């Protein structure tokens, strides 16, 4: 039995357990068991799927993040949906053909709509609807691209290696990529994310921006790598412009935000820019490990931060910097979680975020695009501005009276410890990733 099958049926069965005390234990057990199946390398017994040590490592990371999510979240329906995201991730990361990619990508997307369906206020409705519109448009583009690709003579039931791409096929794949980039919040298609991530329930944003997004990134590099390598002379221009724009705009717009969720949303857009940057260096042998590392680090940091936001606000989505002022006096542990994960996002050494950025930048320099790497580094220093500002608010400001921050439950703290452990582990024991590095994704 593969992890996919187990997760899939666990999803269905967990519906029956809602509002019973066995629900959470059951879900936790299923996630652990699935993680164990990944560890045992049981294959998905279907055509078009294959596994590698790198994707298996990444799946383990995803499952650890899901474990933390389950511990931290209190809405049972969200937990069930997160299980489905886990199941779909297995397919998405192991798929080797366009077809498997498209349908598992849709599986992840559809469940994303369901996740944001938890609407309790008009702000959240705004976020959910924007998410839905963008998702529909992205799907349309992907299917359009697939159609163009097929008209050009491509077979979507094969992997993309060893294919000679003609112009129509290239256009098709690029239209498809445009759809995917839409979901990946690449500038100029980022604005929906800035609204959605900031307006929906923060724990949903944790699932979407922390887990789903990084899964898609890794899957895209894995699937489209041969395509990028073959047509890099054409696409390099697009990739450079998009990645530089994305990271710069994301960082600038994150700078003076008053709402924490909005700041994190823009920071997430900037992070997408860093990840896209690795695609420029796709021919370099460090590109894959660079992206893998970035994605792993990102899963821990982003999930942790949005979950924290959810915890301290009790699910409301418009926590502002004023609310978190002087948080350290109320809860030192939570402040520490915030600080370390933020430091990791900013790229402080010995934390996973630093290693991710370091290797990604190394790959880009190695591939000869040192100017892009330089821009990324400048952006990185730039970002310390608003990350530091956030920390300053937590640690050095006096709290305001109307603060809506509530106390955080123990299980949520355990979840944070798990995520913190990931950030620290992958920051210090880099060889865990390097071991898998040179087997390709």
Partner 1 sequence: MSELILYLVISPFAAALLAYAFGKIDKQIAFWISEILTLSLFIAVLYLFFHYTNPISVDINWFKFGHFSIPIGLYIDHLSMVMLLIVSGLGFLDIHYSHDYMAEDPHQPRYYGYMLFFIGGMILLVSAKQLSGLFTGWELMGLASYLLISFWHEQKAPADSGVSAFLYTKAGDIFLFASLGLLFYYAGTLNMVTIDHLATSGKISSHVSFVVAIFILIAALGKSGQFPFFPWLLRAMEGPTTVSALIHGATMVNSGIYIVARLFGFYAAGDALIVVASIAALGVFVGATSALVQSEMKRVLAYSTMSHLALAFVGLGVGSLAAGMMHLSNHAIFKALLFLGAGAVMLSTNDTKDMWRFGGLKKPLFLVAIFMAMGALSLGGIPPFSGYFSKDAIFATTIATNHGDIITALTLIGGLLSIAYITRMWILIFAGKPRDIELFNAVKTPSKFWISLPLGIMAVATLVLGFFQKDLADYIISAKYIEPHITHMMPVILGAIISLAGIMYYFYYLRLDLVKKLIAQPLIKSIHNILLNGYYVERFITWFTHNIMVDFLAKVVTYIDIHLLDAVIDGTNDASHVVFNRLSKTNTKKSGDYTGGVIFLVGLVILTVMIGARA
Q: Which residues bind partner 1 (CB under 8 A)?
A: 126, 129-130, 133-134, 137, 141, 166-167, 170-171, 174-175, 177-178, 181-182, 186-192, 194-195, 231, 233-235, 237-238, 242, 249, 252-253, 255-256, 286, 289, 359, 362, 366, 385, 430-431, 434, 437
**Nearest approach, Cβ of 222 to partner 1 (angstroms)?**
20
Of 33 and 384, which CB lies nearer to partner 1 in the complex structure? 384
**Nearest approach, Cβ of 431 to partner 1 (angstroms)?**
5
**Nearest approach, Cβ of 167 to partner 1 (angstroms)?**
4
**Nearest approach, Cβ of 88 to partner 1 (angstroms)?**
24
Helix 53-72 / helix 410-428 crossing angle, nearest 10 deg? 160
Of 28 and 171, which CB lies nearer to partner 1 in the complex structure? 171
**Nearest approach, Cβ of 241 to partner 1 (angstroms)?**
8
Of 66 and 297, which CB lies nearer to partner 1 in the complex structure? 297
Report the candidate in 313, 216, 193 with the shortest Cα–Cα distance to residue 263: 193
**Nearest approach, Cβ of 293 to partner 1 (angstroms)?**
10
Q: Locate tokens 């099958």: which residue?
A: 5
Q: How far is CA 44 from the centre of its chain?
A: 23
In sequence order, the 6+-apart residues with CB closer than 8 A to the CB of 392 are none
**Nearest approach, Cβ of 424 to partner 1 (angstroms)?**
15
Of 362 and 395, which CB lies nearer to partner 1 in the complex structure? 362
Cis upstream peptide for 188 (omega within 30°): yes
Of 111 and 187, which CB lies nearer to partner 1 in the complex structure? 187
Of 5 and 252, which CB lies nearer to partner 1 in the complex structure? 252
Rounded Cα distance between 330 and 326, Å, is 7
Of 219 and 253, which CB lies nearer to partner 1 in the complex structure? 253
Of 75 and 283, which CB lies nearer to partner 1 in the complex structure? 283
**Nearest approach, Cβ of 6 to partner 1 (angstroms)?**
33
Helix 191-199 / helix 260-280 crossing angle, nearest 10 deg? 140
Of 4 and 197, which CB lies nearer to partner 1 in the complex structure? 197
Of 187 and 334, which CB lies nearer to partner 1 in the complex structure? 187
Q: Locate tokens 């300053």: which residue?
A: 392
Report the candidate in 273, 275, 255 with the shortest Cα–Cα distance to residue 387: 255
Kindly report the backbone phi and psi dihedral angles of residue 49, in degrees, each rounded to the nearest multiple of 5, phi listed first.
Answer: -125, 140
Of 18 and 332, which CB lies nearer to partner 1 in the complex structure? 332
**Nearest approach, Cβ of 155 to partner 1 (angstroms)?**
20
**Nearest approach, Cβ of 417 to partner 1 (angstroms)?**
15
**Nearest approach, Cβ of 133 to partner 1 (angstroms)?**
5
């Amino acid at each position: 039995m593969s992890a996919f099958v187990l997760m899939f049926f666990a999803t269905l069965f967990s519906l029956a357990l809602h509002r019973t005390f066995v629900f959470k234990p059951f879900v936790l057990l299923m996630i652990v068991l699935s993680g164990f199946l990944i560890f045992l390398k049981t294959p998905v017994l279907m055509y078009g799927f294959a596994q590698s040590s790198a994707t298996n490592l990444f799946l383990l990371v995803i499952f650890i993040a899901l474990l933390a999510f389950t511990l931290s979240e209190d809405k049972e329906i969200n937990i069930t949906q997160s299980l489905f995201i886990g199941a779909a991730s297995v397919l998405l990361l192991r798929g080797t053909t366009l077809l498997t990619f498209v349908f598992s990508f849709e599986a992840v997307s559809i469940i994303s709509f369901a996740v944001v369906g938890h609407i309790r206020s008009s702000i959240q409705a705004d976020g959910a609807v924007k998410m839905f519109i963008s998702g529909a448009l992205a799907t349309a583009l992907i299917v359009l691209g697939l159609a163009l690709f097929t008209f050009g003579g491509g077979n979507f039931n094969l992997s993309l290696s060893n294919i000679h791409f003609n112009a129509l096929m290239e256009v098709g794949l690029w239209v498809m990529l445009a759809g995917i980039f839409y979901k990946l919040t690449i500038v100029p298609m980022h604005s929906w994310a800035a609204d959605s991530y900031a307006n929906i329930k923060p724990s949903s944003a944790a699932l979407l921006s922390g887990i789903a997004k990084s899964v898609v990134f890794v899957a895209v590099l894995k699937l489209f790598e041969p395509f990028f390598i073959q047509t890099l002379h054409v696409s390099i221009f697009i990739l450079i412009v998009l990645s530089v724009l994305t990271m710069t705009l994301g960082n600038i717009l994150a700078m003076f935000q008053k709402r924490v969720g909005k700041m994190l949303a823009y920071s997430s857009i900037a992070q997408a820019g860093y990840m896209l940057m690795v695609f420029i260096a796709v021919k370099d042998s460090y590109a894959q490990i660079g992206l893998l590392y970035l994605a792993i680090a990102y899963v821990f940091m982003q999930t942790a931060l949005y979950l924290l936001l959810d915890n301290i606000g009790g699910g409301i989505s418009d926590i502002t910097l004023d609310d978190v002022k002087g948080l350290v006096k109320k809860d030192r542990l939570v402040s520490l979680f915030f600080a370390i994960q933020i430091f990791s996002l900013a790229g402080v050494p010995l934390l996973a975020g630093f290693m991710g950025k370091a290797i990604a930048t190394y790959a880009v320099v190695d591939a000869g695009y040192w100017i892009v790497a330089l821009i990324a580094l400048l952006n990185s220093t730039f970002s310390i501005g608003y990350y530091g500002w956030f920390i300053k608010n937590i640690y050095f400001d006096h709290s305001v009276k109307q603060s809506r921050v509530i106390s955080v439950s123990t299980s949520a703290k355990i979840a944070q410890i798990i995520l913190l452990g990931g950030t620290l582990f992958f920051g210090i024991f880099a060889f865990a990733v390097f071991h898998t590095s040179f087997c390709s994704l």
